[in-house]
Amino acid sequence: MSIFVIAEIGINHNGSLDIAKQLIDVAKDAGADAVKFQKRTIDLVYTKELLNSPRESPWGKTQREQKQGLEFSAEQYREIDSYCREKNIEWFASAWDLESQKLMRQFNLKYNKIASASLVYEPLLRMVAEEKKHTFISTGMSKMVNIDRAVTIFKEAGCPFELMHCISTYPMDDEDANLSRINALRERYGCDVGYSGHEVGLAVSYAAAALGISSLERHITLDRAMYGSDQAASVEPIGYRMLVGAVRKIEKAMGDGRLEMNPKEAPIAVKLRAHIPFESATNN
Summarize pLDDT for 31-46 with one digit per residue, the tens.
Answer: 999 999 999 999 999 9
266 falls within a domain: no
Q: Check pLDDT > 70 for residue 280.
A: no
pLDDT for res 231: 94
Tell me what the mean pLDDT of segment 221-239 comes to: 96
Tell me what the mean pLDDT of segment 272-281 comes to: 81
- φ, ψ for residue 95, nearest 5 deg: -85, 140
> Residues 68, 71, 76, 82: what is their CA dihedral angle, to the nearest 10 degrees?
170
282 falls within a domain: no
pLDDT above 70 covers what percent of the chain?
Answer: 98
Confidence of residue 155 (pLDDT cuts 50, 70, 90): very high
Mean per-residue pLDDT of the chain:
96
Q: Say whether the peptide bond before residue 171 is cis (omega within 30 degrees of 0).
A: yes
Tell me what the mean pLDDT of segment 216-245 comes to: 97
Q: What pLDDT digit, counting tens, does each position of 32-81 carry?
A: 999 999 999 999 999 999 999 999 999 999 999 999 999 999 999 999 99
Confidence of residue 279 (pLDDT cuts 50, 70, 90): low
Q: Check pLDDT > 60 for residue 104.
A: yes
If one counts every other C-beta atom within 10 angstroms of the C-beta of residue 32, the result is: 26
The domain that holds 77 is classified in CATH as 3.20.20.70
| Cα gap 138→209, rounded to integer Å | 16
Nearest to 20 by CA among 96, 94, 81, 108: 81
150 falls within a domain: yes
65 falls within a domain: yes
Q: Check pLDDT > 80 for residue 281.
A: no
Q: Check pLDDT > 90 for residue 190.
A: yes
Residue 110 Cα distances to 92, 131, 136, 160, angstroms = 8, 10, 11, 11
pLDDT for res 1: 77
| Cα gap 37→23, rounded to integer Å | 11
pLDDT for res 283: 63
The domain total for the chain is: 1
Q: Check pLDDT > 90 for residue 238.
A: yes
Confidence of residue 180 (pLDDT cuts 50, 70, 90): very high
269 falls within a domain: no
The boundaries of the domain holding residue 88 are 4-259
234 falls within a domain: yes
162 falls within a domain: yes
124 falls within a domain: yes
